[in-house]
Structure 1
Amino acid sequence: MRKRLLVMSFAVIAMITTGTPALAIRGGTEAPAPYSFSGSLQRPDSPREDGHTCGVTLVAPSWAVTAGHCTKNNPSLAQVGRPKNWTVRLGTTDAGSGGEVIEVERFITYSPYPVHEGDIGLLKLKKPAKTKPVALPSARPADGTKTRILGWGMTCDRRAPECYPKKLREADTVVQPASACDGIYADRELCVGALDGSVAATNMDSGGPGLVRDGGRWVIAGVVSGAGGDDRPVMYTDVHYFKGWIDDVVTGRLNPPDTPVPNLEGAASLGGCSASVVRTGKTKNNDPALLLTNGHCVPERPAPGQTLEDVAMKLTVTIGDRQGYLQAKAQTTRLVSATMTGTDTALFELDQTYAQLKAKGVKVFTLSGRSAKPGERVDIISSGNGNRFACTIDAVVPHLREEGYTQDNAYRYDPECGPSHGGSGSPIVLRDGVTIVGVHSTGNDSGEQCTANNPCEVAADGTVSAHQGARYGQQVKHLAAGAPAPKPGRPQPQAAPRRLNDATIATSSA
């Protein structure tokens, strides 16, 4: 599968890395001087201190081009929208200082399916840049054309400060035949880099330019889209293919309306899963806040029959506002409890109190002590899917099995309810908008019985059935009484695993 060269921030904040250790612009060196038209897209949901997420290139005084998946990577998944606190920094070799910093007023993505239809997007700046834009190409570059690539991509294959370069890097390479890149859309993409991948763009170089010479000037031939395989060149979106669309947007001939977005207030992200900040009947305003998600979202999943308790664990959490933009960041400090046996839930303690999060405007949900009933209407609020699903509880399934795990009294939603992969851990909320009665967990993708991503239902009489397309959630009423908090200043021992029954639930991320 194609790998986009971007650390997915907020909606899917899990790292997407190449299979081998990476160097920023692998095979490159630090750029001795800035490129006035080239810069960094900087967002508050970036894992980096300097805010860098993607490369950008100025193509008109008030417009910069980047990869489509860089503009669309907000939880609402809007194709056109007005971002919150996005900026571009142009004309510097340092992603964290210098150059010209301009706020982004609007983003316009070419397609809602950027990889399949065109991975390109435009950023409208709130004021014209002082510098001169780069030239657009008059033709597609031929195979073998010398190309200079730029970026602030990662210097190693883990999300850590030492892997984020401050200085812009560059390398000279060539346009390769399309056959050298696995999964390329040859009509609208370029294959750029060394054949063995030794000179190529890497993670967080997405959107950065591939430049070619036209006489005495630079021309932007492509923008980084994604890698088609390990030790391979990288796919770049062919700017010439989309030149007409760029011209239409920049001149105002094409001015699409903003995409309507659902209410995503309170949707949180933890790794590749969705989550929510919750409180119980025992919590107080000055207590550390609790975060709810699935047990299968814990980095080391509980084994069948196991409950993990009081485990020190530091993970990054992002929490969104109504439009899905970053409202607050937090860190988990410990895993309070997690199990995939009988249900699929995990409860984390955060490094901030309810009072502190409330001061930042974060929405906090309440865990219910009751189950939802068949026929009851609920909302599933998913940061990973960028959607708020209006659903009905279709049935309460006695047992659900998947890949050797079992859950009890699982919710099955109505057939029109569509949370999918990335939606794991999303809260199932009553129509009051506050009360959580469950957490989304899994779904049957292909109709198989009891395999990964294909849970099967087990009736009270032992009859086994599979329902392709069905989606399932877990109950949380066992958490409503609240987990005991550790006493300050005292180390908390890790409890021995408790056997609840033979099995656990889905290991999939539905």
Structure 2
Amino acid sequence: MKTPLSGLLAVTLLGTAGAFAAAGPAAAVTAPTAPHAVRAPHAARAPHAATVGFAGTVALDDCSGSVVRMPDSQGGDPALVLTNGHCLETGMPAAGQVITDQPSDRTFSLLADDGSQLGTLQAVKVVYSTMTDTDVTLYQLDSSYDSIQQQYGTAPLTISPDHPVAGSPIAVVSGYWQTVYSCSIDGFVPQLKEGDWTWKDSVRYTSTCNTIGGTSGSPVIDTDTGLVVAVNNTGNENGERCTVDNPCEVDANGNVTVHQGTNYAEETYGIPACFGPGTQLDLTLAGCALPKP
């Protein structure tokens, strides 16, 4: 997982500062002014990625995230923040665990397009969180999309309802590090296993998305459409097999492979089908395939 303290199992899974599968939520830390805390060099970016900034993204105390809307969300709906399941402030969900409707007073730093801080957003509850099949947490805020737009002049990112496409140019936008990583979708992994957790149909990046701890929860944006297609969560750091911070790939025939240095994300296209009017979670809706409690 890509948390700031990646590799320290006692603290978190995969080092969420860049992945939900590298270091689960770590203790509260302040983002250091490290060499990575800048945008990726222009030469390393995909052709369209230069247009992707930090508008709509947030920084957590140990992870990254974004203010997101569903394709049919309305301006008066309560706003949502998307990050990793392993970034949950009360600790990483166990394998098979699904958390819904849990009170939360977590705060998020809302960023402007240039990465500067616009203000602080306040959660009222955890709408949904799991590390089973996927690695997501969705928070509900005490403000609507319209009120955020009016107060800060920034709009939410929209989650695509369509499966991502291999070869698409993407940008992984980390609010924690104020860094944009640019690459393409290399392909999809039937099962990605890390420690006790298994994720399905994960996104594999091409080599230029060298995400680090603290990037966990970053939105993965298709730079052709501007839509969120995944949420960044882990990478294989040391070449180990299926251990924390070292996920392994399992193909459709059960063959296991390890790709040291490769990073991954979890698809988000299935989320909109589980939300009804008013951005209200309803896991009984037709087409909703998110794991249920």
Shift of 1:486: 8.5
Query: Cα deviations across residues 48-106 of structure 1 (Å, max 9, x unaligned)?
Result: xxxxxxxxxxxxxxxxxxxxx5xx4899548xxxxxxxxxxxxxxxxxxxxxxxxxxxx
Matched, 1:437 2:226: no
Query: Cα deviations across residues 295-315 of structure 1 (Å, max 9, x unaligned)?
Result: 111122221112111111110
Q: Choose which of 304, 308, 313 in structure 1 pairs with 2:95.
A: 304
Judge conservation of contact 2:60–2:176 (CA < 8 Å) in 1. Answer: no
Shift of 1:327: 1.5
Judge conservation of contact 1:286–1:355 (CA < 8 Å) in 2. Answer: yes
Matched, 1:374 2:169: no
Matched, 1:15 2:31: no
Counterparts in 2 of 1:134-283, with a 5 A limit? 263-283=53-73
Q: Choose which of 120, 129, 137 in structure 2 pairs with 1:346.
A: 137
| Aligned residue type for 1:416 | T
How many aligned residue pairs are there?
249
Q: Choose which of 125, 128, 152 in structure 2 pairs with 1:337.
A: 128
| Structure 1 match to 2:262 | 470
Matched, 1:290 2:80: yes
TM-score of the two chains, using structure 1 as the length reference: 0.45
Q: 2 CA distance for matches of 1:469 and 1:15?
A: 26
Q: 1 CA distance for matches of 2:237 and 2:217?
A: 18
Q: 2 CA distance for matches of 1:339 and 1:282?
A: 24
Q: Which runs of no fewer than 5 residues in structure 2 stay unpaired? A: 6-24, 40-51, 282-288
User: Percent identity at matched positions?
Assistant: 33
| Structure 2 match to 1:318 | 109
Query: Cα deviations across residues 269-313 of structure 1 (Å, max 9, x unaligned)?
Result: 122010000101342111110111111111222211121111111
Secondary structure of 1:335's aligned partner: strand
| Structure 1 match to 2:180 | 388
Compared with structure 1, are the counterparts of its residues 75 and 484 closer, same or farther at alpha carbon in structure 2 (3 Å cutoff)?
Answer: farther
Judge conservation of contact 2:71–2:161 (CA < 8 Å) in 1. Answer: no
Matched, 1:411 2:164: no
Q: Choose which of 418, 422, 425 in structure 1 pairs with 2:214.
A: 422
Q: Choose which of 272, 275, 289 in structure 2 pairs with 1:480.
A: 272
Secondary structure of 1:478's aligned partner: coil
Compared with structure 1, are the counterparts of its residues 295 and 487 closer, same or farther at alpha carbon in structure 2 (3 Å cutoff)?
Answer: closer
Shift of 1:484: 4.8
Q: 2 CA distance for matches of 1:433 and 1:373?
A: 12
Shift of 1:463: 0.7
Judge conservation of contact 1:306–1:499 (CA < 8 Å) in 2. Answer: no
Counterparts in 2 of 1:444-459, with a 5 A limit? 444-459=236-251
Greater relative contact order (CA < 8 Å, ≥ 6 in sequence): 2
Counterparts in 2 of 1:354-373, with a 5 A limit? 354-359=145-150, 360-373=152-165
Shift of 1:351: 1.0
Q: Which runs of no fewer than 5 residues in structure 1 stay unpaired? A: 4-11, 18-44, 46-68, 79-261, 493-497, 502-510
Q: 2 CA distance for matches of 1:468 and 1:487?
A: 38
Judge conservation of contact 2:73–2:279 (CA < 8 Å) in 1. Answer: no
Q: 1 CA distance for matches of 2:35 and 2:66?
A: 17
Judge conservation of contact 1:327–1:362 (CA < 8 Å) in 2. Answer: no
Shift of 1:322: 1.8
Judge conservation of contact 2:82–2:136 (CA < 8 Å) in 1. Answer: yes
Q: 2 CA distance for matches of 1:454 and 1:304?
A: 17
| Aligned residue type for 2:53 | N
Judge conservation of contact 2:171–2:183 (CA < 8 Å) in 1. Answer: yes
Judge conservation of contact 1:369–1:478 (CA < 8 Å) in 2. Answer: yes
Counterparts in 2 of 1:38-57, with a 5 A limit? none
Matched, 1:460 2:273: no
Query: Cα deviations across residues 428-474 of structure 1 (Å, max 9, x unaligned)?
Result: 11114631000000000000001110000001111111100000000
Shift of 1:392: 0.5
TM-score of the two chains, using structure 2 as the length reference: 0.77
Higher radius of gyration, 1 or 2: 1
